[in-house]
Amino acid sequence: MSTFTELGASAPIVRALARRGINAPFEIQSRVLRDALAGRDVLAKSKTGSGKTLAFGIPVVEKLDASMPRPAALVLVPTRELAVQVGDELTDIASARNLRVATVYGGVGIPKQVQRARKAHVLVATPGRLQDLLDRRLVSLGNISILVLDEADRMLDMGFQPQVDKIVALLPRKRQTMFFSATLDGRVGKLARDYTNDPARHEVVEDRPTIAAAHHRFVPVEQEDRVDRLVDLLSEERDLALVFVRTKHGADRLKKKLGRRGIDALALHGDKNQNQRQRALTSFERGHVDVLIATDVAARGLDLDDITHVVNFDPPYDHTDYVHRVGRTARAGRSGTGVTFVDSTQRHDVSVMAHKLDLGREFEAEGMKMNAPPRPRPKTNRGRSRRNRSRSGRR
Ligand code: ADP
Ligand code: MG
């Protein structure tokens, strides 16, 4: 992995980043930076939180010069919140190169905003308000040499295409364009092609979950003592715990039962709205609550690095679900444990699943017997861990 310096970032920017604890580029940043700093148009797709703001922010501030006519760069974003957030993040690095950043969004007074916008090298704007300022001839975009569309898919979803089209038509044709979106298919892809010129395309796909680094336990339980066993487990040394149940009612019931035993948990529902989900996750991440109860559906897209325990309070439906659940712990070089509760009626199914996952020994470690026949091992064991190989030797 290259450093920011190796990718072409200047010393003042590297120092400004380091002051914020940002020392090594994320993947989308490494990939976009090289092309963007070389002046190429870019199409980029990567998931939320992967660092897209700096992927375009660094090239924007590196390629501008404080003596350029203003505004020299335009960043279009779908919402006011995002304008503020991106504006803040860019201000930080822009000041290292004596550049000014201004935000333009609706719902606040125009005169002050215009004053600041006219002095700024970089405008971060929502399409609606910017269009308004352009219609009133309060700002001009004739000197824009870099255009960024951030969250372009959301801009289209929110119906901003007419404004975006009008704004882009006012920009110099000779410019650099960077296009960021969660998808580059369909309508967004067409827009991306229309607005860019021979772009470099970068997509960072999500890592497939893996359970290779996790420790696995299969714990025999009776239905009526599962909550006690869970309480015991949760009192062990740990960071965040993610507890899987089969239904959302099960999630609510378990939350109540834990509450009565003094354990504050969050129940995450697929059908809770995005705001509620986000609030729940934020308090989980900040450590206000360290037990999260989820169904398979509710946990979809959940992206947390500090989970040390995944507990299958209800067993997963099959081995694929097991990987999706337990794959959320032991990530990024950290250790983690997947614990599966197994009552007497579930033993057969879970042993079949354990067998498919090559976790037969772990299944038997706490007193249960596998009842699936041992699967013959393939001669070539490419990609298998040493642990598994020594186990097959044991047999
Ligand atoms: P995205 O736009 O892809 O959803 P953001 O650009 O908002 O993601 O970045 C998410 C968070 O990660 C921000 O808090 C940002 O400051 C932080 N961040 C970005 N790049 C890095 C990095 N290279 N190292 C550490 N933190 C970073
Ligand atoms: Mg973003």
How far apart CA 315 and CA 311 sit, in angstroms, is 9
How many angstroms is it from 56 CA to the middle of ligand 1?
A: 11
Is ligand 1 within 6 A of the CB of residue 1?
no
8 A C-beta contact, residue 266 and residue 254: no
Of 75, 73, 71, 51, residue with least CA distance to 62: 73
pLDDT in tens, 10-42: 999 999 999 998 999 999 999 999 999 999 999
Is ligand 1 within 6 A of the CB of residue 51?
yes
Lowest mean pLDDT segment, chosen from 76-80, 184-188, 256-260, 315-319: 184-188
**Which pTM was predicted?**
0.62
Q: What is the mean pLDDT of residues 337-347?
A: 96
Is ligand 1 within 6 A of the CB of residue 25?
yes
Q: What is the mean pLDDT of the chain?
A: 89
pLDDT of residue 147: 98
pLDDT in tens, 224-259: 999 999 999 999 888 889 999 999 899 999 999 999
For a substitution probing ligand 1, which of 6, 13, 26, 45 has the most ligand atoms within 8 Å of its CB? 26
**Residue nearest (by alpha carbon) to ligand 1 atom 20:** 51
Q: Which ligand is nearest to the CA of 90?
A: 1
**Counting Cβ atoms within 10 Å, is residue 361 exposed (0-12), middle (13-18) or buried (19+)?**
middle
8 A C-beta contact, residue 188 and residue 153: yes
pLDDT in tens, 376-388: 555 544 444 444 4
Work out which ligand 1 atom sits closest to the CA atom of 46.
3
Enter the DSSP assignment of 285.
H
Containing 267, the helix (H) or strand (E) segment is strand 266-268
For a substitution probing ligand 1, which of 53, 58, 85, 124 has the most ligand atoms within 8 Å of its CB? 53
8 A C-beta contact, residue 108 and residue 97: no
Fill in the amino acid letter for 123.
L
Tokens of 90: 């860019």
How far apart CA 205 and CA 183 sit, in angstroms, is 11
**Residue nearest (by alpha carbon) to ligand 1 atom 18:** 51
Say if residue 220 is preceded by a cis peptide, omega within 30 of 0.
no
Tokens of 231: 């309480």
Q: What is the mean pLDDT of residues 328-355?
A: 90
If one counts every other C-beta atom within 10 angstroms of the C-beta of residue 185, the result is: 11
Q: What is the mean pLDDT of residues 62-77?
A: 97
Is ligand 1 within 6 A of the CB of residue 52?
yes
Tokens of 27: 């993947």
Work out which ligand 1 atom sits closest to the CA atom of 151.
2
If one counts every other C-beta atom within 10 angstroms of the C-beta of residue 228, the result is: 13
Q: Would you put residue 287 in left (φ > 0), alpha (ψ -120 to 50) or beta?
A: left
